[in-house]
A and B are shown apart, each in its own frame.
Chain A
Amino acid sequence: MEYYEVGALFADQSPNSLTIHDALRTISAIESRKDFETIEIRYHELDGKYSEIIVADCTNDRICSKNSVGIEFKERLALRFYDNGEQPEVRALRKDFPYTYHQNSVAEGEPISLCIYYEPWAVIARTWTPEKHLNIISNWLVRVAEGTLHSDDQPVEQLYFNTPYKLVLPSDYSEKQNDIAHKLIAWIPYPEEMQVKNGTVVILSKFIGADETQKPEGLKSEIVSFTLDPVIHGRVEPSPLVLVDIEKQLNSHGSGIIDKLFEHIVDLATPDGIDAANTDCHTIILLNIPILRHEGGEVESWQRKGFVLSLSLGEIGEKAGFLNKNGNKYYYTPIVGSEKPQSSDDWMSLGVDLIDIVDGFSRAKARAASGISVEGPNGVIAGVGALGSSVLNIWHRQYWGNWIPVDKDVVMPHNLARHVAYYNHIGISKALLSNGLYEGLYPLDIINTKSFNDDVVNIDNIELLSELRSADLIVDITTSLDVPRNLALRDDIKRCVSAFINHSGRDSIVLLEDSSREIRLDVLEAQYYGAMIESDWGNGHLFGAAGQLWVGAGCRDVSSIISTDLVQMHASIIARQIRQQSSTDAPKITIWSCSPSQNSVVQNTVDIYEPIYSELDSITIVWNKNIRDKVLSIRNECLPNETGGILVGYHDFTASRIYVVDALPAPPDSESSPTHFIRGKDGLKESVDLIKERTVNIVDYIGEWHSHPPKVKALPSGDDINLLADVSIRLSQDGLPGLMLIATDEEQNWYLGEAI
């Protein structure tokens, strides 16, 4: 058996010669095991890097006697430890140790290096022990011999190891790679010195017109790509040094490049020759490699790899002997009297450097990375302030939906605290910036360049109006109360959703219309208030809002203090929930309450009731079946007497609507008989104050309701008219109309003070 020798022998072979702690621990661990035997100890020092090596035989009963991989029962290994704490290395010293899966890249002529750890060394090191190390080595040998180190359900192995050089292809590469009207150019976006510190040098590329001149920043290189014959997956090849290495390696996998490369050069040179002006030009050969798991199988994956030659294509042809330089051109030169070209073996020793080929970021990749399979809507997003820009940023990175941003504001310095914007964006339209950020992600996938620096409800903007009408979904994150109410009343648009966060930044709210718009944003808003009054989460929900309800941490309130982490958290919730909820048809009201004391977010959903629109002459009363049921239930309980109470809600004169949020039962000091009802006042003020407090004064007293007994119509009696007049007079002090509901089982009639 022939073995590699690594480093130099210690003169004194006793373990005490070892100075590296882990080496000492390991040799001690070996002593207590039957399956490892120390053969000798060595050391190695190069360029100030010192390592100690335990050469040991590992025997393993679990290695199959005739395993097809070629792992032996007894394998001699070099266990190397570095004094700088680097990951210990394991080399198989047998000279004919097979190339297998999961080996590290080594230079030609060096013993094979086993890739035994998948996690970074910094992680492994925390739980590393020599015993575990030896177990893992032993297990690696077994699993390689079994062929289970790379199981059938694992992806096929790559052909080459990764290199520090990464050529990033443009996202339209597949589309244009065979299009002769375009050529691929490459450039290094940051100076190599800046990049190489990280061990990676990134080269970017893009297509330009075939006749376009390369920009000065471009690399002086020609990029040619070839699709290889299928390569059968197997061992990872060591890094090739010269061109013939690559050919041999590909040949061993049933493929090759040289014939294709030379054919390409001949085609270029025939009949007009190749321009020789390009001296000191590099050639980047890009390989598209179909990989088969087994010979005769289906192509299982496509891998890309590239290599760089420091010569132009013409020079390569010259080295291969079939091109000759004449003046400023290389010409194809067949042997006189023969069809065969002249040939030379000089090409074989041309140096090559492998480069990794990395796909550019595309929308398809974005969607795949987020595990999203649906395209999402063509939508309009109104309001791209702190919350809106964050939501949109998420959707952009997921490539969910195509969005037209609408916002009438520009970026101001204070916006930088919470917006997706940077200093150089100050002064730009927020809507325009949103599109700019999208283009920054997908420079080659721009499909929508529209944005509107406008108010989304500006009906004079015809183009905007047209976009609103064609949008599948309109997302309102304007943080204004006006926009959702406005959208709610429009019949020429599709589904709308409104999202905002509360004044403290602790809670976020999403109001989503049903897909057929039976229940619209204004109705959802009223029912949101109703739930806020009734529910636990409503306590303190709007605390501190001081009359300003719809908050988006926007720019209007420069002094508002909401931590950007809360904005981002809610933006994430809102982005995800709108994405998920909009795929169903139902309407939804959802509140996410963040409890700072418990560091948790709780989701609250609100039951939604069918609205009832009661049209009066000049105004529509918007209430719902829940309020009706409540009124009728109280009435039934009090029969044969009449009963009643107050109504709470709010007015929207722009919309000519009164929204009824709740009907309260009779206070305990009320008087009632089968023929009369006088609403009392005990506890009523407290109730109304509470409602006002919870809803930051949006919901208030708006009128009275009372019941009529059976067989009596829901028409106002003389007393009723007097009552309504009294209410109307009192409310008129605020310019508001008086409202009265008379309810029987059969009918519920509304009366407006002004109307009587």
Chain B
Amino acid sequence: MHKIVFYPVGNGDTSQIILDNGKRILFDFRHMSESEKEESPYINLKSRLKEELDDANRDYFDVVAFTHGDDDHIAKSTEFFELRHAKKYQGDDRIKINELWVPAAMILETAPTEKQSDEFVIWRQEARHRLKEGEGIQVFSKPDKLKDWLESEGLTVESRQHLITDAGSLATGFTLENDEVEFFCHSPFIKHCDEGDDLRNEAALIFQVRFEVDGSRTNYFAVGDSTWEVLDDIVSISQSHGNDDRLDWDIFNLPHHCSYKALGDDKGEKKTQPTEKVEELLCHGNKDAYEVCSSEPIVDNDDAYDQVLPPHIQAKNTYDEYLSEVGGRKFLVTMEEPNTKKPEPITFEISGGGHRYLAKTITGAAAIVTTTAARAGQPDGIL
């Protein structure tokens, strides 16, 4: 059985695909220092992932994909992973990455100094190192600037072509036949990388991850941060290439922590009206589908409608509406499951019987004995 796990990391992203054959593909990494406190609702990502790998007797991920270089997708990752380009990031039980997946922008991007996080720069160095070494990396899209950079390093596109995957094709390394999974790359596509200054979100990795087990197909639409413009393009391009089925989804990792900007320009009063193409994408959801929003809890009160930062309640209402229309099951928020006080990772299981959400069902005494008890003590004022 394959698994998809979404970790409660607040308004950020971290998810993992664990294949039945043991391969592990991690998407983004957001460790929050605050999570190291016992009472924090956020998951202590470093220790959680370490624990999971220990249990699986591994010290590596087969793939770590950074959908883009924003801090909420890479936070503290350079403390956790072993990087090949510099000794100081090696040893000390650091977790190895067999193959790093990045959008081309992460190789190229030269953001203004104040926006450029230290960690992003480190990852750019790592990605460049791996590309130069010619192993342990897969770069998505091939803008001219990438070609220029390769040339500046004395390399040719041809010599690195096997490490580069264009939008509209499948990531290398996984096949339905061998792994029961394939990664169809929707984004980034050339148009965006060459357009302008702040390309990070637009150039983020977007995959339709397709599982096929015993003839039963389950599609997981994995979007990092994105905007309606990018999604519009993805829908149009997919349609024009006859790849409509690559828009299907049974599990949808909603873009950008439920930002209305992934639906349309106008947040709306109660709902955000999606663009025509985004609407089409939402209608590609299958019966029994789930939407997963990797974000803080979504509050439904008057103030929430005026909230500037995502998650946006108006966007949630829209997603709810379309989910119901396609006969989907639930809109899940990573920081709400099973409760907002101590959320747990949301885990889906993929098998020949389709997908299911392994919601926590242990209750009563069985649950009590797996947690520490509430504090007991003498009543105040007696002594």
A61: which of B218, B351, B353, B356 is its contact (CB, 8 Å)? B356
Alpha-carbon gap, A541 to B361, bound state (A): 60
What are the interface flags for A349-389 relative to B under an 8 Å C-beta threshold, 1 for contact and 0 otherwise? 00000000000000000000000000000000000000000
Interface contact B353-A66, CB-CB below 8 Å: yes
Q: Is A630 an interface residue (CB 8 A)?
A: no
A73 at interface, CB cutoff 8 A: yes
- Contact, CB under 8 Å: B353 / A64: yes
B355 touches A65 (CB 8 A): yes
Measured in the bound complex, the distance between the Cα atoms of B353 and A63 in whole Å is 9
Q: Measured between alpha carbons, how far is A61 from B337 in the docked complex, in Å? A: 12
Q: How far is the CA of A139 from the CA of B358 in the complex (A)?
A: 13
A560 within 8 A of B: no
| Contact residue among B216, B361, B363, B364 (Cβ-Cβ distance under 8 Å from A66) | B216
Which of A61, A63, A68, A138 sits near B330, CB closer than 8 Å? A61
A135 to B363, CA, bound (A): 9
Residues of A within 8 A of B286 (CB): 65
A157 CB–B CB distance under 8 Å: no
Given contacts A73-B288, A73-B329, A135-B363, contact A62 B357 (CB under 8 A): yes
B136 within 8 A of A: no
Pairwise interchain contact B358-A62, C-beta atoms closer than 8 A: yes
- Assembled-state Cα–Cα distance A523/B348 (Å): 75
Please state if B359 and A65 are interface contacts (CB–CB under 8 Å): no
Is the Cβ of A68 less than 8 Å from the Cβ of B353? yes
Query: Does more than half of chain A's interface fall in helix, strand or loop, or is it mixed?
Result: loop
Check: B297 CB closer than 8 A to any chain A CB.
Answer: no
- Complex Cα distance, B238 from A711, in Å, reads 117
- For residue A134, give the distance in angstroms from its CB to the closest CB of chain B: 10
What separation, in Å, do the CA atoms of A65 and B355 have in the docked complex?
Answer: 5
| Residue numbers in A under 8 Å from B359 (CB-CB) | 61-62
Per-residue CB proximity of A48-66 to B under 8 Å, as 1/0?
0000000000010111111
Let me know if A409 is at the binding interface, CB within 8 A.
Answer: no
Q: Is the CB of B354 within 8 A of A61?
A: no
Which A residues touch B349, using CB under 8 A?
Answer: 64
A145 within 8 A of B: yes
For residue B250, CB closer than 8 A to chain A, the reply is yes
For window 133-154 of A, CB contacts with B under 8 Å fall at 135, 138-139, 145-146
**Given A67-B353, A145-B353: A61 touches B363 (CB 8 Å cut-off):** no
How many chain B residues sit at the interface, stated as a range, is 20 to 34
Give B185 Cβ to nearest chain A Cβ, in Å: 25
Q: Are B354 and A67 in contact (CB under 8 A)?
A: yes
List chain A residues, Cβ under 8 A from B361: 62, 135, 138-139
Residues 326-342 of B, flagged 1 when their CB comes within 8 A of A and 0 if not, give 00011000000000000
Cα separation A604 to B71 with both chains bound (whole Å): 78
Q: How far is it, in angstroms, between the C-alpha of A140 and the C-alpha of B242 when the chains are bound? A: 43
Task: Assess A65 versus B330: contact at CB under 8 Å? Given A73-B288, A135-B363.
Answer: no
Residues of A within 8 Å of B357, CB to CB, are: 61-62
Q: Is the CB of A65 within 8 A of B354?
A: yes
- Majority SS of interface residues in chain B? strand
| B358 engages A61 (CB within 8 Å) | yes
Partner of A64, one of B287, B351, B363: B351
Question: Which chain A positions have C-beta within 8 A of B355?
Answer: 64-65
* Complex-state Cα separation, A503 to B373, whole angstroms: 60
* Chain A residue at smallest Cβ distance from B355: A65
**Given the known A-B contacts A73-B288, A73-B329, are A63 and B356 also in contact in the complex, defined by CB atoms under 8 Å?**
yes
- Check A65 against B250 for contact (C-beta < 8 Å): yes
- Chain B neighbourhood of A145, CB < 8 A: 353
Q: How far is the CB of A270 from chain B (nearest CB, A)?
A: 52
Interchain CB contact under 8 A, A64 and B329: no
Known contacts: A73-B288, A73-B329, A135-B363. The answer to whether A65 contacts B358 by CB under 8 A is no
Q: How far is the CB of B220 from chain A (nearest CB, A)?
A: 12
Q: Are B353 and A146 in contact (CB under 8 A)?
A: yes
- Within the complex, the shortest CB–CB distance from A127 to chain B, in Å, comes to 12
Closest to A147 in B: B353
State in angstroms the CA–CA spacing of A24 and B314 once bound together.
Answer: 38
Q: Which residue on chain A has the smallest CB distance to residue B349?
A: A64
Given the known interface contacts A73-B288, A135-B363, the answer about A64 and B358 at a Cβ–Cβ threshold of 8 Å is no
The CB with the most chain B CB atoms within 10 A, among A65, A68, A73, is that of A65
Q: How far is the CA of A65 from the CA of B250 in the complex (A)?
A: 9
CA A61 to CA B359, docked complex, whole Å: 6
A499 CB, nearest partner CB in chain B, Å: 50
**What is the distance, in angstroms, from B16's C-beta to the closest C-beta of chain A?**
19
Task: Mark interface residues in B203-247 (1 if CB within 8 Å of A CB, else 0).
Answer: 000000000000010100000000000000000000000000000
- A35 to chain B minimum Cβ distance, whole angstroms, is 8
Enumerate B246-272 residues with CB–CB distance to A below 8 Å. Answer: 250
Measured between alpha carbons, how far is A221 from B334 in the docked complex, in Å? 69
- Pick the contact of B354: A66, A131, A138 (CB < 8 A): A66
- Compute how far the CA of A59 lies from the CA of B363 in the bound complex, rounded to whole angstroms: 17
Question: For the complex, what is the distance from the CA of A146 to the CA of B359, rounded to whole Å?
Answer: 15
List the A residue with the shortest CB-CB distance to B357: A61
Q: Which residues of B contact A64 (CB under 8 A)?
A: 349, 351, 353-356
Given known contacts A73-B288, A73-B329, is B356 in contact with A65 (CB within 8 Å)? Answer: yes
Expressed in whole angstroms, the minimum distance between the Cβ of B181 and any Cβ of chain A is 17
A residues within 8 A CB of B353?
A: 64-68, 145-146
Q: Which of A106-144 contact B (CB under 8 A)?
A: 131, 135, 138-139
What is the bound-complex CA distance between A392 and B289, given in angstroms?
68
List the B residue with the shortest CB-CB distance to A64: B353
Residue numbers in B under 8 Å from A63 (CB-CB): 356
Annotate A27-44 by CB proximity to B: 1 below 8 A, 0 otherwise: 000000000000000000
Chain A residue nearest to B286 in the complex (CB): A65
Chain A hits for B330, CB < 8 A: 61
Q: Are A65 and B288 in contact (CB under 8 A)?
A: yes
- Contact flags A656-690 to B (C-beta < 8 A → 1, else 0): 00000000000000000000000000000000000
B-chain residues with CB within 8 Å of residue A68 when the two chains form the complex: 353
**Alpha-carbon gap, A61 to B357, bound state (A):** 5
Q: How far is the CA of A475 from the CA of B2 in the complex (A)?
A: 65
- Which residues in A have their C-beta under 8 angstroms from that of B351? 64
Kindly state the separation between the CA atoms of A59 and B361 in the bound complex, as whole angstroms: 13
User: Given that A73-B288, A73-B329 are known contacts, is A62 also in contact with B363, CB under 8 Å in the complex?
Assistant: no
Expressed in whole angstroms, the Cα–Cα distance for A504 and B160 within the complex equals 98
What's the minimum C-beta distance from A390 to chain B, rounded to whole angstroms? 46
Q: Nearest-CB distance from A29 to chain B (Å)?
A: 12
- Complex Cα gap A68–B330 (Å): 21
- Distance between Cα atoms of A62 and B287 in the complex (Å): 15
Query: How does the 8 Å CB contact mask read for A460-475 relative to B, with 1 for contact and 0 for none?
Result: 0000000000000000
In the bound assembly, the distance between CA atoms of A65 and B351 in angstroms comes to 10
Shortest A51–chain B CB gap in Å is 28
Q: Which of B54-103 contact A (CB under 8 A)?
A: none
Within 8 A of A (CB), among B344-383: 349, 351-359, 361, 363-364
The answer to whether B329 and A61 touch across the interface, beta carbons within 8 angstroms, is yes
Q: Complex: how many Å from CA A139 to CA B353?
A: 17
Which of chain A's residues have a CB closer than 8 A to the CB of B364?
131
Residue of B nearest to A66 (CB): B354
The residue in chain A whose Cβ has the minimal distance to the Cβ of B330 is: A61
Set of chain A residues within 8 Å of B288, measured between Cβ atoms: 65-66, 73
How close is A144's CB to chain B, nearest CB, in angstroms?
Answer: 12
Which one of B352, B353, B354 has the greatest number of beta carbons of chain A within 10 Å?
B353
Cβ proximity bits A243-262 to B, threshold 8 Å, 1 near / 0 not: 00000000000000000000
A65 touching B363, Cβ below 8 Å? no
Bound Cα distance from A62 to B358, whole angstroms: 6
CB distance from A151 to the nearest CB of B (A): 15
- In the assembled complex, the CB of A139 is this many whole angstroms from the nearest CB of chain B, namely 8
What are 5 A-B pairs at a CB distance below 8 A? A64-B349, A64-B354, A65-B218, A73-B288, A139-B361
A-B pairs, 3 with minimum CB distance = A66-B354, A64-B353, A65-B354
New A-B pairs, 18, CB < 8 Å, besides A66-B354, A138-B361: A59-B329, A62-B356, A62-B359, A63-B356, A64-B355, A65-B218, A65-B287, A65-B288, A65-B289, A65-B329, A65-B354, A65-B355, A66-B288, A73-B288, A131-B364, A135-B361, A135-B363, A139-B361
